[in-house]
Structure 1
């Protein structure tokens, strides 16, 4: 078996200038992962800021003679190798089955960028450590800025709606800040929260800041998926930690206390929200002129769906907090079921095994409820099965298994919780292609720092 430390996370001797430029680019990659809202059209493709910055980092690492060996060694790590096989399979099935290579290329190029980003962050240990620190520092500010955007937009009835979008299905403004949409804003928040609240040695003041700010940020996003994902991830982390026999029982209990405090804060917050919320209206189906929420209506790399023609009305008597409405008969849950049923029509015969080509669902189906708009599967397992068949789905499963296998032993409980949370989020939102995914994997896989080793020994 190839050991992760033998092929990744090198600590090469660098000049001060090279080290500084490398870390600045790593920091820029992390910052750009929060800026999914911003893109520009290049050669007919929507190119995002978070796609350009990783390319600059990868070019710097491959062209600089002191960094190139570390980059090439990281490329041979089992996790990037499995991911490279997944990307290669998408190319193969696209060449065989895709009706439009140009259409498919928008996602294939994005996958290649993701691979380069992952390898770049795994090449230098200090880069992955910096990415982790920046992500942890973002938690409370990201949550509080989102809550401020949400509160201002709704209190002013949309006259000031910076960093907020109007949800036409629930007649409420939701926070997205600089992310592409509310679901992505909330997903970034919960993933960094999980990595932060579960780390060894977290201080009381940091726990307090997280337990106050994160529930407010999730209320601002009005995203049910994020709430379920965070609770699931914290639960898996706690169970894994409690059943571990590598430390004393008291130490295991102490380790999960911060996660327990956050769960308690979530319960209290959403108890208050549920008590203040109105009664769910009988009909949550979308009118023909309305679009579903952004996670449903925007395909990765595609042009956003035009907004509905009617004006926002946050004073509508049917307005309620979206989080409290779990309705399987209408709304976004029924929307996902309908999309899956449409996708199943082409998941037969050889296409069930080999797929239909990357990002080709929209070439065959319109988005339910929005005539004239190309469809998009927003559930990762269903989309990968549709695009790459059973072979592609098998490679995706192998990727997540490889990540868990190669995480340092002391970080296994954290990895179990984060991966469980991620898989639920990605099943209900379009998370897989975004830079945050590959930053998280690189941070998870990095070797233990001296501080972590000291805490483990203590």
Structure 2
């Protein structure tokens, strides 16, 4: 075994019943990662479906003698070790600086569940392979369902708005399907699309399906961040492939054709929409982008057919909207990033204890941007551990898959900087998938 898989991705001999239960729970974990919208209050904490199912998988593995050994060995893999240190540091800085341990515990528990999820999927190779297949198969349906929800909601003026939220800033219904918000819907779509379209051996029909459906899904989400993130990630993948492989140029160029087809489709679709968009949206105010934060009350009746109040995709404005909102949040966060707190942090999830959400009086603040969030919570030490985690993921990825890993990590960092998604199950499923041992098809690739 190589360094990256020596303590993970075992292939234990399992009985038919044990294998069925294990793979069933893995399937439930992947499906649960799409269901961020659904939760319930349990002893004062908001408990999500995507948190409960991974916990069940981890408990099953710890309880079963044939799975316990692989689970414990996976804990010693470099990536879970680094992430475990990151979680431990959050516990330390929270204990020292947090004004409310209960408030901080909601995220600390989530971080711990994420660690269990990552280790569970890294414990057996078959589980990670299954997660990869399920994610790949989700791309076109996830995109098309989102586009259908978006089209129906806007054409019916909200009379049928299942799977959408109304964006009062731009007067348009945006798709989120079963995700917590449109940005998370789009992020899940682009990550699985990136992994699918960069897979060696992808056929023409699958490439065409992705190139058609993904732009439609991103239009439905009305997210500019997702488009930039996906294009940048695919660009990094292409450059890494072209300039790092020891194979004929024709083979290297052929390797990136599916990714290029998706980029071309995105450029055409979004170029047309941006060019045809209306004027700047009326009555613009600062507002949080996460749907689990309070949304300002509407100042007028929704009119999603009025082009003068739309053009979110083509609108890039640093003076208002979500970009200015993030700048204002970052400015508030810097007020506590001084002295010892700059180095050690202020405690996990404590920004909302000290600041209200800009533009929404009485609502606890939320930073949203991952680097700023981690710097605020865990200081320079915490941010350094986060950087170490991403470096470790890249180093431990199989060499045949590093072009894909590079593109995915860049895409993820861009998305996480502008959306609050680090804690969601999709993150740890992606890491387990990208680190898994190479398949037979991938072994035919030249080493890099």
Name the TM tier (shorter chain): over 0.9
Indicate yes or no: 2:284 matched with 1:284. yes
SS of equivalent to 1:161 = coil
- Is the contact between residue 282 and residue 309 of structure 2 (CA under 8 Å) also seen in structure 1? no
Deviations 1:104-139 (A, max 9, x none): 000000000000000000000000000000000000
- Per the alignment, residue 120 of structure 2 pairs with 120
For the residues of structure 1 that align with 2:321 and 2:295, how far apart are their CA atoms?
A: 19
Deviations 1:288-330 (A, max 9, x none): xxx4332xx63xxxxx425625543324453223111000000
TM-score scaled by length of structure 2: 0.97
For the residues of structure 1 that align with 2:446 and 2:440, how far apart are their CA atoms?
A: 10
Distance 1:283 1:421, change over 3 A: same
Indicate yes or no: 2:443 matched with 1:447. no
- Per the alignment, residue 391 of structure 2 pairs with 401
Q: Spell out the pairing of 1:157-306 with structure 2 (5 A cutoff).
A: 157-281=157-281, 284-286=284-286, 291-294=287-290, 298=292, 304-305=293-294
For the residues of structure 2 that align with 1:122 and 1:249, how far apart are their CA atoms?
A: 35
- Per the alignment, residue 308 of structure 2 pairs with 318
For the residues of structure 2 that align with 1:162 and 1:307, how far apart are their CA atoms?
A: 21
- Is the contact between residue 215 and residue 269 of structure 2 (CA under 8 Å) also seen in structure 1? yes
- Per the alignment, residue 328 of structure 1 pairs with 318
For the residues of structure 1 that align with 2:50 and 2:352, how far apart are their CA atoms?
A: 24
For the residues of structure 2 that align with 1:126 and 1:281, how far apart are their CA atoms?
A: 49
- Per the alignment, residue 408 of structure 2 pairs with 418
- Per the alignment, residue 13 of structure 1 pairs with 13
Q: How far has the Cα of 1:366 moved from its partner?
A: 0.1
Deviations 1:31-86 (A, max 9, x none): 00000000000000110000000000000000000000000000000000000000
Aligned Cα root-mean-square deviation (Å): 1.5
For the residues of structure 1 that align with 2:29 and 2:69, how far apart are their CA atoms?
A: 21
- Is the contact between residue 201 and residue 455 of structure 1 (CA under 8 Å) also seen in structure 2? no
For the residues of structure 2 that align with 1:307 and 1:42, how far apart are their CA atoms?
A: 27
- Per the alignment, residue 301 of structure 1 pairs with none
Deviations 1:371-408 (A, max 9, x none): 00000001000000000000000000000000000000
Q: How many residues align?
A: 446
SS of equivalent to 1:6 = coil
- Is the contact between residue 169 and residue 292 of structure 1 (CA under 8 Å) also seen in structure 2? no
SS of equivalent to 2:216 = helix
Match for 1:308 among 276, 292, 297?
297
Q: How far has the Cα of 1:450 moved from its partner?
A: 2.0
For the residues of structure 2 that align with 1:278 and 1:124, how far apart are their CA atoms?
A: 52
Please list every run of 5 or more consecutive structure 1 residues that lacks an aligned counterpart in the other structure. 299-303
Q: How far has the Cα of 1:282 moved from its partner?
A: 7.1
Deviations 1:259-278 (A, max 9, x none): 11111111111122123211
Q: Spell out the pairing of 1:30-109 with structure 2 (5 A cutoff).
A: 30-109=30-109
Match for 1:342 among 308, 332, 337?
332
For the residues of structure 1 that align with 2:307 and 2:145, how far apart are their CA atoms?
A: 27
For the residues of structure 1 that align with 2:412 and 2:135, how far apart are their CA atoms?
A: 16
- Is the contact between residue 143 and residue 216 of structure 1 (CA under 8 Å) also seen in structure 2? yes
SS of equivalent to 2:178 = coil
SS of equivalent to 2:174 = strand
- Is the contact between residue 36 and residue 48 of structure 1 (CA under 8 Å) also seen in structure 2? yes
- Is the contact between residue 167 and residue 293 of structure 1 (CA under 8 Å) also seen in structure 2? no
- The farther-off stretch of 446-455 and 221-230 is 446-455
- Is the contact between residue 172 and residue 321 of structure 1 (CA under 8 Å) also seen in structure 2? no
For the residues of structure 2 that align with 1:336 and 1:305, how far apart are their CA atoms?
A: 16
Distance 1:179 1:152, change over 3 A: same
Distance 1:222 1:182, change over 3 A: same
TM-score scaled by length of structure 1: 0.95
Q: How far has the Cα of 1:100 moved from its partner?
A: 0.1
